[in-house]
Every structure is written in C-alpha cells, then in structure tokens.
Amino acid sequence: MDPARAPWYVTTPIYYVNDRPHIGHCFTTLVADAIARFERLQRGVAAPAAASPTAAPRDCFFLTGTDEHADKVVTSAAAHQTTPQAWADKNAAEFAKAFAAMGITNDDFIRTTEARHKEKVPRYIEKMIARGDVYRGEYTGWYDAGQEEYVTETAAKEHDYKSAVTGKPLAKRTEPCWFFKLSKFAEPLARHVDAHPEFIQPDARRNEVLGRIKLGLNDVPISRPVTDDPATQWGVRMPGDPRSRVYVWIDALFNYLTAVDTTARRHLWPPAVQTLGKDILWFHAVIWPALLMSVGEALPRTIWSHGWWLSEGRKMSKSLGNFIAIEQLEAYAGRYSLDALRWYLLTQGPLGANDADFVHAKFVEVFNADLANGIGNSTSRVGNMVGKYFDGKLPVDAAAAAPAGKAAGSDWAELTKAAVAKSLAALARCDLPGALAPATELVRQVDGYINATQPFKLAKLVAAEPAKKAELGAILANCAEALRVAALLLSPAMPSKMGQVLREWSCTPPSGATLAELVRLDGPHSLRAGTAIAKGEILFQRVEASDPPPTAATST
Ligand code: MSP
C-alpha cells in the first residue's frame, strides 16, 4: 500500500479536567492539528464537520480529549458543591471550547469517564494479567498529589521532598497495589527504540530515554486502593478486585486505544504520531509501549515530544500564576487574527528539544516580517496588479507563462516542486517550522522576482509597446501560481487566511484533489487564463513595534 494512503492517526495527550486550558494544552493540540491538516491536504480530504464518538470512519483521524479520573476532580467538585461527573462535564466542555477557539479540527474528543472508555480499560488489564504481567504487591514511595504520580527517591531528594511542579511537600505512602512487570519489557523496548530511530523524537529525547531504559526498568504500580474516602472511589476498578482502582495514568494512556478499538476504527491502529510535552515523555515512551506490548498491540510509529513555553522569560507555574490562559490567547487572536497566533506558536514554539519563550515583542516582529510584509504583502501586490492591468483576470495560463520565468532566472516549476518536497520531508520528521519555511521562502522568491522583473515599470511601457503586455501577464501569472502553492503549503498553519486567498483567487481546492495534483504546474489545478484574481481584503495589517500586548477578558 502507498504509505501516504495508509490509515493515519494522530493523538494529543488527554488533559486534566481540573486545569483551565492554557497555552501548554493549546500548543500540544495545535501541533497535532497542523500535522493533521497537512495530512488531509496531502490526501485531499476535508476537515471533519464536528468531533464525534460515532463519526463515520475516516482514514485520517485526529483524537484529543480529557483525563478525568484524578482524585483532584473529586475534591474540587466537593469544594464547588457539585458531583465529580458534573465538574468533569463542565471542565471538559471548557477544553472543547478552547480548542474550537484555536481552530482545532479533531475528529473525536474522548473523555475517560465515558462508557466507551471505562468498559474497555479492564479488558486490557485482563489481557495483561493473562500474560502474567501483573502481580500483587505493596508500594512505598513519595507521592506527588498535585501530579497524581509517585516520584523516585532520587527525584524526591533532588527537590527537597517537594513537588518539582507545584512545590508542595511530597507525602510518603505505603499501599497495597497491583504491579505491572515493566522490568520484563526493558530489553524488547530498548531493541525497538534502537531499531526505530523515528519512534522517539526529537533525537535528543530518544537518547535520553534510551539511556535510562538501558539501565533497567523497575516494575510500576498500576492500581490504587479504594477506601472510604470518596476521592478513592472515582475511577475504573481493577478487574476482579473491587478494592482497587486503576491508577489514573494507566487509565488515561489507554484512551488512545479505546477511542479506535471499535469495528469501524480498528484499521487506524497504530497511531502515526502521538504528540506530547517533554514532561510526560517517560509515560509515553516507556510505560505506554510496554503496556501495548503486554496487551499484544502494535506500537505507535512516533512519540513526538516538544519542550515548554516560558512566559516572558519565566517558567509558567501555578505558584507564579503566570500561565498564558486561553483568554490571553483569544485576546491575541482577536487583535491579530487566529491565524497569526497559530503562526507564531507553530513557528516560534518549543518544537524541538528546547524550550521557547512567549514574548510579545517577538510576536509583533514575526507578525510583521512573516505575515504583513511576507505572504500578506505579496498576495496583495500581485492581486492589485492583476486588478489594475488585467481587470482582475489572469491573462495567461500559469503553465504557458513558466518559460518566461525560467528565462528571467526563476524556474517556477522547479522552485514550487522543491518547496513542496522540502516541506513534506520536514513534515515527515514532525518539523513544523521546517514544513512551513519553504512556503515563506517561495514568497521571498516571488518578491525577488517582482523586484528583478519590475512589472509596475513594464506596465507603463505597454501603451507605447503593446508587446510588453504579454510579458507583464506572464510575470503576474508566474507570481500568482507560486503564491497559490505557497498558500496551500501555509494553509495547515493558517487555514482561514490562506482559505481567503485561495477563494479570492478562485482556486479553492476541490474536494478529493491531493496535494501532489494541486501543485502540478502541468496538472488540472494550476491557474488558467481568465481566472478571477480579486484584490481582496488586506490579510495582515502591519502593526507598530510599540503595540502593547492585548489584554485578556477576565477569566471566569
Ligand atoms: N493528563 C495528563 C496526560 C495524560 S495522556 C495519556 C497530563 N495532562 S495536562 O493537562 O497536564 O497536559 C499535558 C500537556 O500540556 C502536555 O503535553 C504538556 O507538555 C503540556 N503543557 C503543560 N504546560 C506546558 C507549557 N508550559 N508549555 C508547553 N506545554 C506544556 O499531563
């Protein structure tokens, strides 16, 4: 099967419903969204109309959702005089709303309190038990209640027996529980990571994880006791042991499988890409694949982790209260457009092994350089010239104009082809800035071509030398065609603005057209003589460097 056509599945972590959506959650989900949109662009399939647990099976599938069985949900619900389920419902809806505001096109939104998930988790654990990978024991360790996880003695000591995340004191706990024989999987896992360099990405993270796996793995508890405390009664019960519930992380990890473990979606397994932040890489790159080996499922192709956003140079934390909340992101989208926000996050974000800083001045700089002076200016120049000199209709087929470009030193057929190839090669490495850069480069090349060929000067000569009109038309057809390809390649990051350009230039891709077909100069979708190229609205209005940061509406 053509790999580009094979079923394809991308996931994000599922988010704790106790938090309010912030830049961290929105970023991981946005990365998955851009990757999913690139994938759909390649296949010529439209985004889903709405997220749904029963949506018709699609070959290209994007899942996000919420992690709802944390103890904190019970305590917070009580503090708000409501039930855990009602509290989870309310907060899950906040995440769905935040993602809609970010233009996220997930096919489904899974919640761990849904029956479709809760019913399947014990079935997987039964399989693990049947394989002899689960045993009864007692666990003593330092528990970080805020993070719902035990930390090792070394890590606890390193942070003075306080949570590395919340700063609150850790609690020493001993409890009876079921263990998963993670140790048994150290070798097969190390072999898998060694043999599949793409399995853990970026490379720096793979080396870190592999180093730790090779030191050997300890078995991990996968259950917690159920007591009289209502907080312990929330969650999925261990099969055959109503006094134990499945540890929230194990419950949560299985969401990726439960969502597609249905007759209609089974073909989607395993995921092509699982996106997540570096803080939860160990769970995803070690525990998760070991669970999958135990239940006999194929492993995901790539576990791709990103770094962290800092805010104006400082780590975001609950204690500092400096999280960039969804309201702040919406304020940016309101002032500069959602697409500009997406662009900034996707091109300047912590997409490799390093962290990145959200700095307002940088946002403005990137907005002006890449958007207002880049694609925005270039499309407006070309649209204006076609309007002025050719009544808004392209005078010649782009394919017929190509030789004129080549003669002037710009081989547009080659340049656009190379841009697409470079973009897709970067995408295959989940390198989003790298996947978007070739389009920005194309825009720069168009600007360079305009400067070199000076169509505005040529236009002045047309009255005296009518033959120049054909030359002018060819230049503009070349520019418009290159910008059409750039707009297509930029559309996963900026779907709305690029959709606007393609619409105004009468070249919205018809459904079913693959990227390969769309970008071919000698194909059915290249710009033709007579195509209406509207001047259109200004895409991105240049902003002053001194523009102050937008202020968020107060959060509820
Ligand atoms: N519920 C678990 C995941 C279970 S997946 C089976 C969890 N949830 S979370 O609500 O804490 O969100 C985790 C995601 O948000 C991670 O991808 C994490 O990296 C991301 N971020 C949280 N803060 C962040 C930043 N400051 N910067 C970038 N992303 C960060 O963990």
Tell me: the pLDDT tens digits for 455-492? 999 999 998 999 999 999 999 999 999 999 999 999 99
Angstrom distance (rounded) from CA 307 to CA 358: 13
Say yes or no to pLDDT of 536 above 90: no
CA of 510 to the centre of ligand 1 (A): 37
Q: Does the beta carbon of 355 lie inside 6 Å of ligand 1?
A: no
Identify the H or E element spanning 174. Answer: strand 171-180
Q: Does the beta carbon of 323 lie inside 6 Å of ligand 1?
A: no
Helices (H), 255-367: 255-258, 281-282, 288-295, 326-336, 338-348, 360-366
Least confident of 28-32, 45-49, 303-307: 45-49
Query: Residues 282-308: what's their mean pLDDT?
Result: 98
Ligand 1, residue 307: give the atom nearest the CA: 28
Q: Is 1 exposed, middle or buried (0-12, 13-18, 19+ CB in 10 A)?
A: exposed
Torsion from C-alpha of 84, 90, 95, 101, nearest 10 degrees = 180
Angstrom distance (rounded) from CA 8 to CA 186: 28
Tokens matching residue 329: 């992101």
Angstrom distance (rounded) from CA 65 to CA 526: 39
- What are the start-end ranges of the E strands in 367-436? none
Query: Residues 337-351: what's their mean pLDDT?
Result: 97
Query: Residues 126-153: what's their mean pLDDT?
Result: 90
Q: Does the beta carbon of 28 lie inside 6 Å of ligand 1?
A: yes
Q: Does the beta carbon of 14 lie inside 6 Å of ligand 1?
A: yes
Backbone torsions φ then ψ of 424, nearest 5 degrees: -70, -35
Query: Residues 533-542: what's their mean pLDDT?
Result: 94
Query: Residues 13-28: what's their mean pLDDT?
Result: 96
- The per-residue pLDDT for range 61-79, each reduced to its tens digit, is 999 999 999 989 999 999 9
CA of 306 to the centre of ligand 1 (A): 10
- Average pLDDT across the chain, whole number: 94
Instruction: Give me the pLDDT at residue 130, please.
Output: 98
3-state secondary structure of 384: helix
Confidence of residue 538 (pLDDT cuts 50, 70, 90): very high
Query: Residues 162-175: what's their mean pLDDT?
Result: 89
Instruction: Give me the pLDDT at residue 3, please.
Output: 46
Contacts of 508 (CB under 8 A, 6+ apart): 499, 502
3-state secondary structure of 229: coil
DSSP letters for 304-327? EEE--EEETTEE--TTTT---BHH
Tokens matching residue 407: 């003669």
Ligand 1, residue 280: give the atom nearest the CA: 31
Angstrom distance (rounded) from CA 294 to CA 38: 33
Q: Does the beta carbon of 24 lie inside 6 Å of ligand 1?
A: yes
Say yes or no to pLDDT of 132 above 90: yes
- Going by alpha carbons, the residue nearest to atom 21 of ligand 1 is 24
CA of 62 to the centre of ligand 1 (A): 17
- Going by alpha carbons, the residue nearest to atom 24 of ligand 1 is 24
What is the length of the chain?
556
Contacts of 224 (CB under 8 A, 6+ apart): 175, 177, 232, 235, 244, 245, 247
Say yes or no to pLDDT of 312 above 90: no
Q: Does the beta carbon of 248 lie inside 6 Å of ligand 1?
A: no
Say yes or no to pLDDT of 449 above 80: yes
Q: How far is CA 267 from the centre of its chain?
A: 22
Say yes or no to pLDDT of 230 above 90: no
Confidence of residue 1 (pLDDT cuts 50, 70, 90): very low
Q: Does the beta carbon of 133 lie inside 6 Å of ligand 1?
A: no
**Higher local confidence (pLDDT), 148 or 167:** 167
Backbone torsions φ then ψ of 110, nearest 5 degrees: -95, 145
- Going by alpha carbons, the residue nearest to atom 16 of ligand 1 is 277
Confidence of residue 103 (pLDDT cuts 50, 70, 90): very high
- The per-residue pLDDT for range 379-432, each reduced to its tens digit, is 999 999 999 999 999 999 999 999 999 999 999 999 999 999 999 999 999 999
Conformational region of residue 430, where left means phi above 0, alpha means psi within -120 to 50, and beta covers everything else: left
Angstrom distance (rounded) from CA 474 to CA 262: 54
